[in-house]
Amino acid sequence: MTEGATTTAIECLDSVVGQHEDSGAADQQHQQQEVTRIELNLLTGGHSDADAGKQQAVTMTNKVAKKEQLPERGSWGSKLDFILSVVGLAIGLGNVWRFPYLCYKNGGGAFLIPYFVTLFLAGIPMFFMELALGQMLTIGGLGVFKIAPIFKGIGYAAAVMSCWMNVYYIVILAWAIFYFFMSLRADVPWRTCDNPWNSVNCVNPYDRKDLLCWDSLGVNNTLTKICSLNSLNVTMSDLSDPVKEFWERRALMISSGIDQVGTIRWELAGTLLLVWILCYFCIWKGVKWTGKVVYFTALFPYFLLTILLIRGITLPGAFEGIKFYVSPNLSKLSESEVGCFWGLMIFGRFKW
């Protein structure tokens, strides 16, 4: 963009500002659209004078906002605030509670091969593209794709997906808060089978080795392991875990069928309300306040993961789990379902 073109654009902005006081409600909307159009031209059309044009455009836009008594767009307090926010966004809950399960289900270490290939070829480039567009144009997700109207739907789709993801993950956070409150006691309630909600088939996995069990020849000459429990003979597959029973029979109180609606779980409703309130106070003062909150929300999970790692490698069977990761099942790569899962993990983790 030449110096004369930049000067002409700035004069147009001055004209928009000067005419504001004599304009009605209909003219204000037209003027704001004109300011946005000229600002985008300055940001996307310049070469040697692009930086100067951008600075002048931002100054004039703030001037228009002040005239119309509109709040100025917030900005990050520092680069570290922005980096930590991006780190917290990219990691997310999915990488903590879903990724290990999907990796275990879809071939162990074999799952990591297509995952990292797609991550470097598609995930990271698209991630940096969105960051670059947002930082350069200082426009929200709905407006950033105005630079290419054919891609305008991408902004709306990303906004809809973010809303759905927020509603989805906020429930998981409510469960986590519920477990946090339930763990504030001398012994966690999901350790034993002595609770009112436990069934007669509940046996701690560490106690199953002490049961009297034998193999029985069943239908079609199949062997079934039978165990003696509470004066009853039950199959090994019918034994229940106290952790699972706490989740299904105490936390969620799952009914016997869809025809049994049940009642509202007021404990979970309360934790859900608490999480929504916490989210509100994390963003209520704009990105400058959010940038301070992420110092805790982005770093504290790593502290917890370190504790879980140390605890995990000291549990029985830890070596078998590590061995499973380093001994991949490559035959799983031929299944189309595996491709859906690693695609979901990559594009879902970046909230697209």
State mean pLDDT over 100-127.
81
Model confidence at 249: pLDDT above 70: yes
Model confidence at 58, pLDDT cuts 50, 70, 90, reads: low
* Contacts (Cβ under 8 Å, ≥6 apart) of 198: 240, 242, 245, 249
Hey, CA dihedral for 170, 175, 180, 184, is it positive or negative?
positive
Segment 70-82, tens digit of pLDDT: 456 667 778 888 8
Please say whether the beta carbons of 126 and 352 come within 8 A. yes
For residues 70 and 304, give the distance between their C-alpha atoms in angstroms, rounded to a whole number: 42
What pLDDT sits at residue 335? 77
Please say whether the beta carbons of 251 and 178 come within 8 A. yes
Please say whether the beta carbons of 126 and 349 come within 8 A. no
Q: Which residue has the tokens 């309300």?
A: 273
Most confident of 26-40, 48-62, 98-112: 98-112
Helix (H, G, I), strand (E, B) or coil at 217: strand
Model confidence at 101: pLDDT above 80: no
What pLDDT sits at residue 265? 92
Model confidence at 197: pLDDT above 60: yes
Tell me the binding residues: 88, 90, 95
The alpha-helical segments, DSSP class H, found in 25-73 are 25-45, 50-67
Please say whether the beta carbons of 211 and 203 come within 8 A. yes
Segment 314-344, tens digit of pLDDT: 888 888 878 877 777 777 777 777 777 767 7
Closest Cα to residue 2, out of 56, 54, 48, 36? 48
For residues 114 and 332, give the distance between their C-alpha atoms in angstroms, rounded to a whole number: 11
> What is each CA distance from 60 to 29, 32, 39, 53, in whole angstroms?
16, 12, 9, 11
Model confidence at 112: pLDDT above 70: yes
What pLDDT sits at residue 272? 96
Query: DSSP code of 74?
Result: P
Domain ranges of the chain: 3-67, 95-184+264-349, 210-239
For 212, phi then psi, to 5°, come to -85, 110
Tell me the binding residues for Na(+): 88, 90, 95
What pLDDT sits at residue 295? 86
Of 17-26, 102-111, 300-309, least confident by mean pLDDT is: 17-26
For residues 94 and 101, give the distance between their C-alpha atoms in angstroms, rounded to a whole number: 10
For residue 275 the two structure tokens come to: 């999480």
The alpha carbon of residue 199 and the mean position of all alpha carbons in its chain are separated, in whole angstroms, by: 35
Model confidence at 246: pLDDT above 90: yes
Model confidence at 26, pLDDT cuts 50, 70, 90, reads: very low
Segment 131-165, tens digit of pLDDT: 888 878 877 778 888 788 888 888 888 888 888 88
> What is each CA distance from 84 to 42, 131, 205, 258, 302, in whole angstroms?
30, 13, 40, 43, 12
Closest Cα to residue 316, out of 186, 190, 208? 208
Helix (H, G, I), strand (E, B) or coil at 271: helix
For residue 48 the two structure tokens come to: 């040697």
Give the pTM.
0.68
Between 164 and 55, the higher pLDDT residue: 164
First CA to last CA distance, the chain: 33
Model confidence at 179: pLDDT above 80: yes
What pLDDT sits at residue 3? 46
Please say whether the beta carbons of 211 and 263 come within 8 A. no
The alpha carbon of residue 294 and the mean position of all alpha carbons in its chain are separated, in whole angstroms, by: 14
